Amino acid sequence: MKASTAKHIAYNLRPSKQAERRILVDLLKCANEAGVTISDCRYVGMGGSLFYDFHLIHRFLGVKKMVSLERSPEMYRRSVFNCPYDFIKVKNTTVAEFIAADLDKTRTIYWLDYDDGIGPDITADIISLGTRLRPGGFAFVTVYAEPPGFLEKETPEGRLDYFVNNLGEFSAGLTKDNMENSEFSTTIHGILMSAFSSAFSARRDGRFRPLFQVQYKDSTTMITVGGCFCGQKPGSKVERRIKKDLPFLMSKTLPYKIKHLNLTEKERALFDIAVTRALSSSKQSNQLRELGFKDKDFEFYRELIRFLPRYYESII
Amino acid sequence: MAQTISAAASPEKRLFISLITRDISLSDAILDIIDNSINAALEPIASRLKTADDYQNVLADPKLKAKVTIDVTIGSARIVVRDTAPGISADVAAKHVFKFGREDSGENKNDRLSVYGIGLKRAMFKCGNRITIKSDHAEGGFDLSLDVKRWQDIRVDPWTFDITTRPPVKTGTGTQIVITELYDDVVARISDGLFINHLRDLITRTYSFFIDRIVIIKVNDVVINSELFEIGDNYASHKFAYDGVSCNITAGIAVVKGDTFRDKNAGWYIFCNGRTVLFADKTSLTGWGAGLPIYQPKHRPFFGTVFFVSTDPEALPWTTTKSSINEESAVWQEASRHMTTVGRVITAFLDRRYSEDGTEIAPRELQSVAGTPVRMLTAAIAVQRAFRPPAAISSKTKTISYSAQMADIKRIANHLRRPSMSGSDVGRFTFQHYLKNEVGSDE
């Protein structure tokens, strides 16, 4: 089993994860521009000890009411120690306990960024989000999209048994084929989508729009599904805005895959010019083609140009 | 030239009776008749019963004393249900009571347990061929004498029953239903020595909110006692309203009976307008194995209630037999998600309460976590609150214990060239090996 990326790569140096975070923040910015005010929202996430998402959401969206959930008593102590802002409440609790006890009426952005494979607790957390999310709120869930370690060496039949025995109605219709490694991420995506759809199906005060479906990989494939719960009019405005600014999120039924291009700084400089030039052919693009880059790479870079991080070593 | 002609589409009485009686048990049919009596008994206070909180406040009032007696007598020759409720007026009987199905006119705005306008007729048809009803009412009651087989043969539309009026009464109101010429399968069921006790148990559980407060119920002269459910005051609760239905959900730890939690009392209890629809349900219908874990004996202390209330009983999520839930009902779908949110903090705590060596925490110790016992009614009207699980005792070690084939242990020991290695040493070695080589260091 591959250990979690967070364990052996510094959490803030995972380029695909960082791109995913930035796209998510940009999606919230789009929603803000479409009339769903974000700075008034509360943010509930899992800050761990680095609070990277909390930094981004405060800095770029102005959110000043935040809750970080940490279930492990040991990690909780580190989390409190490393908490960057005074307005973040760090709570030593599970998502289930927090949601059941939460009486706050503020519109909320939940990002349940699990370092874990899908299981009954996670699908139940999504169902619980469906009972608490207020119109104008957002919910995102991130899980492993590869077989978790204890299923890695299992046969497809063994994996299917686990899903049937543990995921209840969310395992309905799954077959051995869905358990193959090549299909696993699609299966997890399907389960997350079903859970979100089921969680909000009976609500009459709005509709859940799955605006964000992103798959990425630093060392382990992860998937994030989420979106906005709101009425027809604001929902359509948000969708139109996202379609304009982040069209790659809207045009696919399958999750958008963040491609890891692994570029040098010199190559990035060429890509920056090539994909922002009106003409498809340029000195820079020709140079990149000579280096072996394909049309698809240009397309990916064009989509992700604003979101791919740059990391440098510095001596503090 | 094409003509428009009317094609016959009216129901056959024989088929109609067969359809409406096929899916109801004898005990549920008798409960349908009792529902009618309780519905009448609730009428004087119906205007105070609009939300879940109203019900629970009214029914939790210690000053409230039952004014109506329902006397059920069951024998192999006849079934008699007699009540001292305000009775049914001849006018209401002529216009509403015997119609198959409720009207949409809002005429029955005080009905709370009468839902579809079919229960009484279905119950009568289920049990026997001869039915007599006598009802005394302040505005004048009625008599009905019905031979079902003969009525079946009358082919006149619209369908009617002949009733005769009775004079108004100032005291001694009430209704008596007598069913004779019982059907063979009904007689066989009644003859089963277990049936009467089963019925008493069912009545106890179905009407626990009404017994002693609204009605006194007797079955073959035995007074039915209400079942006093209690829950520890460290519970979780949530309230919501949906499409004219108000709903209170509570989950916590039951109060121990004797030295152990009883399996038959564990699970979800679903009430519609105070009437129990599901008792101690542990199936996927109430989320077990879906949002909640699959029910296991360790969940025996779980006690959850869902209290639905509406002034329009048809908006409630019960089935026509009132013995189950209409899963397609939107309010039920919404409630089931809230049940997951409220219930799983309790199941998660119960899942965690096993000590290292797998020994269950003694029920009495669990009771101290549950808190002071309170009546379920009190819990159900509480404002939204959270269950407070005890702080987890953080331990740095955990005992792992499992069985393995002797031959496999020997094979590993031989592979390590230490054939005398004990089973526990093989276990420790393989654990460390996996930790080092598969998982990797955490530091």
Tokens, residue B253 = 């730890």
- Residue closest to B280 by CA, chosen among B292, B294, B269: B269
CA distance B431 to chain A (A): 14
Question: What's chain B's average pLDDT?
Answer: 87
For the cut 70, the answer to whether the pLDDT of residue B391 exceeds it is no
CA distance A169 to chain B (A): 6
Tokens, residue A110 = 């939940």
C-alpha span between B24 and B119 (Å, rounded): 10
B169-194 residue pLDDT tens: 999 999 999 999 999 999 999 999 89
Strand partners, B182: B128
For the cut 60, the answer to whether the pLDDT of residue B412 exceeds it is yes
B74-94 residue pLDDT tens: 999 999 999 999 999 999 899
Mutate to test the interface with A, among B235, B337, B339 (most CBs of A within 10 A): B337
Chain B positions with Cβ closer than 8 Å to A: 236, 238, 242-243, 284, 289-294, 330-331, 333-334, 337-338, 340-342, 344-345, 348, 384, 386-387, 389, 392, 394, 438-440, 442
Under 8 Å CB-to-CB from B437, ≥6 apart: which residues?
none
For the cut 60, the answer to whether the pLDDT of residue B105 exceeds it is no
Please check whether residue A228 is in contact with residue A235, taking contact to mean a CB–CB distance below 8 angstroms: yes
- Which residue among B293, B331, B333 places its CB closest to the CB of A201? B333
pLDDT band with cut points at 50, 70 and 90 for residue B358: very low
Q: Please report which helix (H) or strand (E) contains residue A208, including its range.
A: strand A207-217
Sign of dihedral through CA atoms B289, B291, B293, B295?
A: negative
- The more confident residue out of A189 and B118 is A189
Task: Report the pLDDT averaged over residues B277-284.
Answer: 93
The answer to whether A124 contacts B291, with C-beta atoms less than 8 Å apart, is: yes
Task: Report the pLDDT averaged over residues B122-133.
Answer: 94
Please check whether residue B211 is in contact with residue B227, taking contact to mean a CB–CB distance below 8 angstroms: no
**pLDDT for position A8:** 54
* A126 phi and psi angles, rounded to 5 deg: -65, -45
Under 8 Å CB-to-CB from A260, ≥6 apart: which residues?
A15, A16, A217, A218
Q: How many CA atoms lie within 13 A of A180 on its CB side?
A: 6
**pLDDT for position B49:** 85
- Residue closest to B132 by CA, chosen among B95, B164, B176: B176
Task: Report the pLDDT averaged over residues B383-403.
Answer: 73
DSSP B327: T
**pLDDT for position B64:** 81
Window from A256-265, B36-45, B56-65 with minimum mean pLDDT? B56-65
Window from B49-53, B151-155, B160-164 with minimum mean pLDDT? B49-53
**A120 reaches B (C-beta below 8 A):** yes
pLDDT band with cut points at 50, 70 and 90 for residue B363: low
Q: Which residue has the tokens 């909000």?
A: A200
Task: Report the pLDDT averaged over residues B2-13.
Answer: 84
Task: Report the pLDDT averaged over residues B410-427.
Answer: 88
The answer to whether A128 contacts B290, with C-beta atoms less than 8 Å apart, is: no
* pLDDT tens, chain A, 316 aa long: 444 555 555 655 788 999 999 999 999 999 999 999 999 999 999 999 999 999 999 999 999 999 999 998 889 999 999 999 999 999 999 999 999 989 899 999 999 999 889 998 999 999 999 999 999 999 999 999 999 888 888 999 999 999 998 888 888 889 999 999 999 999 999 999 999 999 998 898 999 999 999 999 988 899 999 999 999 999 999 999 999 999 999 866 789 999 888 888 899 999 999 999 877 788 899 999 999 999 899 999 999 888 888 877 776 5
Task: Report the pLDDT averaged over residues B333-352.
Answer: 92
pLDDT band with cut points at 50, 70 and 90 for residue B443: very low
The answer to whether A74 contacts B387, with C-beta atoms less than 8 Å apart, is: no
Closest residue in chain B to residue A196, using alpha carbons only? B337
The answer to whether A127 contacts B291, with C-beta atoms less than 8 Å apart, is: yes
The answer to whether B330 contacts A202, with C-beta atoms less than 8 Å apart, is: yes
Q: Please report which helix (H) or strand (E) contains residue A68, including its range.
A: strand A65-69
- Which residue among B284, B345, B440 places its CB closest to the CB of A97? B345
Stated length of chain A: 316
**pLDDT for position A73:** 87
